[in-house]
Chains A and B, each alone.
Chain A
């Protein structure tokens, strides 16, 4: 079971077609400007249920890499690089979104799922779960998973033991592309511009939730890929996608945003506040002590051909 999985869009999914199937069940998802006028999964609940959902079949889970690296179409002679790409794909890493209105929590008739007040991490009580899998049916992102051996359901735990120690989660720490960051998010009217996630989501508005129309107010935000055609992205990230892409395109002239991006993967510790000053980005803990500093432009070091200290010549240092 993959509490964190990375799937290739457009054809990948773990489980297979988890999003396409629910979008179809949900029916038309209409927007008026920035306001969603369709139904959430709770409002679309069929009789006797709390949300609309489906239980994936066994075989939907057995190909986590289906569609990996597949492009949206075939390459044709004469194609060249454009933005957006004529044929495209992108990788979508997914974890439990620790939603503010979790469908899993609402679905459990035994209240075996709870959301921690101290950090918002959503957990399945392993003593209380009886493997009914109502949460598996109703989580739109299919991030509650049934354990074949223990016959109860499990999910991403938000690495809460690490979070309690002031560190980021394992999936974030280990991302070699350094494209992930954990941080605190607040409601828009209470946002802290010094919190890196509040800054990206509420100030620069460069990051968006995935399928907001489901209505769960998820707490994982994505910076949409600029090379993918807008209609596809709008289906996933909503009507503010273009604004997010424009903010992203400004980053070379936006030192603050550049600084936040460079703080991603710079430390395994949780960055409570950040600041960008004099060509450097600084990350601070909750006490205001500096955790990490990253230069906005990596300095160039020119080493002489002969290393006198070691009496060797430097070769192949391209």
Chain B
């Protein structure tokens, strides 16, 4: 009895130790997931609603974030710990939902010392290359960059000087129309009127007051090279509620352009994520970012087999079922003689 107790105690201790070790390993694994499945949904995946019901049935992958310190200017301490990512697709469109905790809703970058919240997804054009590091020469990457101030421009109208400084007054600008205090863009219709707003005149995307989407699509091939793409295909929307941002990004899965990442049902791609917290003066390289995940794009389950296989399987099933019934009748004998 005593021996059994001791061996049982030792066995129990070993099991507990193993359990703890496994538990610790599980904790490590859970903090840096490497897989994200883009769930196939039958509703439309062309989504611009971060609160759409489809998201509640899709499990999230929680990506821990680390402060960027590979290149100056570095972020010395992260202000956002993790981002929860979900993805759905309907074979035509693919969408991602990024959700993260941020107690401040920073949606204006008008004053010289204010910065806005933002989030981005980085996906190499070559779907087999891991994401992160902003690409490399010969290995371009796509960036989908949602900005809080672009969202606010869309929701509330372009945030001009008057919105940042409510008592601002200016009685004249060359070639301006309308009445003071003048509003961009309505009161500056001509190119002459825009002469001194050079960012706007030369087409800098940051300076365009009329926004179509809050997400900017960029390409990069290394640190410091990110450039806005001439063709913009990503829709999106961000909403902040009770200290949580939820931002959806949405794009057609296949595009005719060759320099963008393509999403193939049943295929894979790679993605990494980044988040900026405006109240921590985060912008550009001052960001927190995640490690790479392999994105598995779920296709339509019913369309994964060829049609003739389905029909042949159905006929076989019928034949098999018929054979069982016949055997049963044969064994039990006819009811009537």
Interface set of A (CB-CB < 8 Å, partner B):
47-50, 55-58, 61, 107, 109-111, 126-134, 136, 145-152, 154
A1 closest partner in B (C-beta): B112
Q: How many angstroms from the CA of A55 to the CA of B280 in the assembled complex?
A: 13
Give every chain B residue within 8 A of A130 (Cβ-Cβ): 206, 284
Give every chain B residue within 8 A of A152 (Cβ-Cβ): 199, 204, 206-207
Known: A55-B113, A109-B224, A136-B112. A149 touches B161 (CB 8 A): yes
Known: A110-B226, A127-B202. A151 touches B74 (CB 8 A): no
Q: How many residue pairs, one in A and one in B, have C-beta atoms under 8 Å apart?
A: 97
Nearest 3 interchain pairs by C-beta: A48-B74, A150-B199, A150-B207
Q: How many angstroms from the CA of A147 to the CA of B206 in the assembled complex?
A: 11
Q: How far is the CB of B260 from chain A (nearest CB, A)?
A: 21
Q: Say yes or no: A133 contacts B204, CB within 8 Å.
A: no
Give the interface segment out of B65-73, B241-249, B295-303: B65-73
Q: Which of B73, B76, B224 contacts A111 (CB 8 A)?
A: B224
Give every chain A residue within 8 A of B71 (Cβ-Cβ): 109
Q: How many angstroms from the CA of A79 to the CA of B179 in the assembled complex?
A: 53
Q: Say yes or no: B207 contacts A148, CB within 8 Å.
A: no
Give every chain A residue within 8 A of B285 (Cβ-Cβ): 109, 132
Q: How many angstroms from the CA of A22 to the CA of B198 in the assembled complex?
A: 30
Q: Which of A58, A126, A132 contacts B283 (CB 8 A)?
A: A132
Q: Say yes or no: B72 contacts A49, CB within 8 Å.
A: yes
Q: Say yes or no: B112 contacts A48, CB within 8 Å.
A: no
Give every chain A residue within 8 A of B109 (Cβ-Cβ): 131, 151
B208 closest partner in A (C-beta): A150
Q: How many angstroms from the CA of A146 to the CA of B226 in the assembled complex?
A: 20
Give every chain B residue within 8 A of A149 (Cβ-Cβ): 160-161, 184, 197, 200, 207, 209
Give every chain B residue within 8 A of A136 (Cβ-Cβ): 112
Per DSSP, chain A at the interface is loop
> Which of A49, A133, A136 has the most C-beta atoms of chain B within 10 angstroms of its own C-beta?
A133
Q: How many angstroms from the CA of A48 to the CA of B113 in the assembled complex?
A: 20
Give every chain A residue within 8 A of B207 (Cβ-Cβ): 149-152
B233 interface residue, CB < 8 Å from A? no
Known: A146-B112, A149-B160, A151-B199. A131 touches B206 (CB 8 A): yes
Q: Which of A107, A126, A134 contacts B204 (CB 8 A)?
A: A126
Q: Say yes or no: B284 contacts A147, CB within 8 Å.
A: no
Q: Chain B, interface size: which category?
A: 35 or more
Q: Say yes or no: B284 contacts A132, CB within 8 Å.
A: yes
Write the B69-90 contact mask toward A (1 if CB under 8 angstroms, else 0).
Answer: 1011111100000000000000
Known: A109-B71, A130-B284. A150 touches B203 (CB 8 A): no
Give every chain A residue within 8 A of B113 (Cβ-Cβ): 55-58
Q: Say yes or no: B199 contacts A148, CB within 8 Å.
A: no
Residues facing A in B194-253 (CB within 8 A) are: 197-200, 202-204, 206-207, 209, 223-227
B209 closest partner in A (C-beta): A149
Q: How many angstroms from the CA of A279 to the CA of B71 in the assembled complex?
A: 60
Q: Say yes or no: A131 contacts B283, CB within 8 Å.
A: yes
B164 interface residue, CB < 8 Å from A? yes
Known: A56-B113, A58-B113, A131-B283. A150 touches B73 (CB 8 A): no
Q: How far is the CB of B73 from chain A (nearest CB, A)?
A: 5
Q: How far is the CB of B79 from chain A (nearest CB, A)?
A: 15
Q: Say yes or no: A148 contacts B112, CB within 8 Å.
A: yes
B68 closest partner in A (C-beta): A48
Q: Say yes or no: A148 contacts B110, CB within 8 Å.
A: yes
Give every chain B residue within 8 A of A128 (Cβ-Cβ): 204, 227
Give every chain A residue within 8 A of B110 (Cβ-Cβ): 148, 151
Give every chain A residue within 8 A of B114 (Cβ-Cβ): 58
B281 closest partner in A (C-beta): A55
Q: How many angstroms from the CA of A280 to the CA of B76 in the assembled complex?
A: 62
B117 interface residue, CB < 8 Å from A? no
Q: Which of B69, B73, B76, B112 contacts A109 (CB 8 A)?
A: B73
Q: How many angstroms from the CA of A304 to the CA of B110 in the assembled complex?
A: 64
Q: How many angstroms from the CA of A147 to the CA of B204 in the assembled complex?
A: 13
B111 interface residue, CB < 8 Å from A? yes
Q: How many angstroms from the CA of A56 to the CA of B114 in the assembled complex?
A: 11
B149 interface residue, CB < 8 Å from A? yes
Q: How far is the CB of A105 from chain B (nearest CB, A)?
A: 13
> Given known contacts A47-B76, A58-B112, what 14 new A-B pairs fall within 8 Å (CB)?
A48-B72, A49-B74, A55-B113, A55-B281, A109-B73, A110-B225, A127-B203, A129-B204, A130-B284, A148-B164, A150-B197, A150-B199, A151-B110, A151-B199
Q: Say yes or no: A109 contacts B206, CB within 8 Å.
A: no
Q: Say yes or no: A110 contacts B198, CB within 8 Å.
A: no
Give every chain B residue within 8 A of A146 (Cβ-Cβ): 112
Residues facing A in B258-292 (CB within 8 A) are: 281, 283-285
Q: How many angstroms from the CA of A110 to the CA of B180 in the assembled complex?
A: 37
Q: Say yes or no: A150 contacts B204, CB within 8 Å.
A: yes
Give every chain A residue within 8 A of B197 (Cβ-Cβ): 147, 149-150
Q: How many angstroms from the CA of A309 to the CA of B71 in the assembled complex?
A: 79
Q: Say yes or no: B204 contacts A127, CB within 8 Å.
A: yes
Q: How far is the CB of A108 from chain B (nearest CB, A)?
A: 8
A150 closest partner in B (C-beta): B199
Give every chain A residue within 8 A of B75 (Cβ-Cβ): 48
Q: Say yes or no: B112 contacts A126, CB within 8 Å.
A: no
Q: Say yes or no: A58 contacts B111, CB within 8 Å.
A: yes
Q: How many angstroms from the CA of A50 to the CA of B224 in the assembled complex?
A: 15
